[in-house]
Amino acid sequence: MTATQFPTSDSHITTERDGSMVTIGAAGATVTETTRSKATRYTLAALRLSLGWVFLWAFIDKLFGLGFATPEKNAWINGGSPTKGFLGNAVAGPFADFYRSFAGATWADWLFMTGLAAIGTALILGIGVRVAAVAGSVLLVAMWTAVLPPENNPFMDDHLIYAGVLIVLALTTAGNTLGLGRFWARLPLVQRLPWLQ
């Protein structure tokens, strides 16, 4: 077995063996990260950032009416309602009447837009990933129930897949890689209330 040593400081030596990185610290503690675990960390970070952008983009498009899903005349800043069009016209299935009952309501618009912005921002920054994952999953499942059955499948669609990915992100430390998760976890409030991670 051959090993290559990389001096990282006076008190740490990083050694590469068989595709694994082993760091030996000043106190003699050894931390091992395999190539697979590193790839997993970065894949989860990419999924986190991607889903964060999905939520944040939906907020931005509905706020300014950039013409992707929302025309400019229906932008929230121009007096449009982010919930009226979809909940008023596109819902179907057993919960349709429930969703139509609050389509365009001010409280629904604010709740929906605040949720999109907060979930997207938290995921992109890698902070409060657990809370964002739970809130995002609830929102996605609600959107799934608004149009039942899905158009191209008896029950499965992208909303449920995204919710599943959010659950995976909540069960891992996905906010630590390419995010502020480690900083967030050290905050006194988060240490007192770990569910905020």
Q: What is the pLDDT of residue 9?
A: 42
| CB neighbourhood size of 12 (10 A) | 13
- pLDDT tens figures, 22-77: 555 556 666 788 999 999 999 999 999 999 999 999 999 999 999 999 999 999 99
Higher pLDDT, 122 or 23: 122
Instruction: Return the minimum-mean-pLDDT range out of 2-11, 85-94, 162-171.
Output: 2-11
Task: Check whether 4 has a pLDDT greater than 60.
Answer: no
Predicted TM-score (pTM) of the model is 0.83
> What span, in angstroms and rounded, lies between the C-alpha atoms of 13 and 28?
10
Q: Which residues are within 8 A (CB) of 94 and not within 5 positions of it... i.e. 6 or more apart?
A: 148
pLDDT band at 12 (very low <50, low <70, confident <90, very high): very low
Q: Quickly list H helices, 65-155.
A: 84-85, 96-100, 106-125, 129-146
Q: Which residues are within 8 A (CB) of 40 and not within 5 positions of it... i.e. 6 or more apart?
A: none
Q: What is the pLDDT of residue 166?
A: 98
Task: Check whether 10 has a pLDDT greater than 80.
Answer: no
Q: What is the pLDDT of residue 160?
A: 97
Domain locations along the chain: 39-196
> Residue 64 CA to chain centroid, in angstroms?
22
> What span, in angstroms and rounded, lies between the C-alpha atoms of 105 and 88?
11
pLDDT band at 3 (very low <50, low <70, confident <90, very high): very low
Mean per-residue pLDDT of the chain: 89
Q: Are 174 and 44 in contact (CB under 8 A)?
A: yes
Q: What is the pLDDT of residue 33?
A: 87
- Record the tokens describing residue 130, joined without a space: 């657990």
**Mean pLDDT within 117-143:** 97
- pLDDT tens figures, 98-107: 999 999 999 9
Task: Check whether 19 has a pLDDT greater than 50.
Answer: no
> What span, in angstroms and rounded, lies between the C-alpha atoms of 114 and 58?
11
In the chain, the DSSP E strands lie at 4-7, 13-17, 20-24, 30-34
Q: Are 16 and 32 in contact (CB under 8 A)?
A: no
Q: What is the pLDDT of residue 29?
A: 67
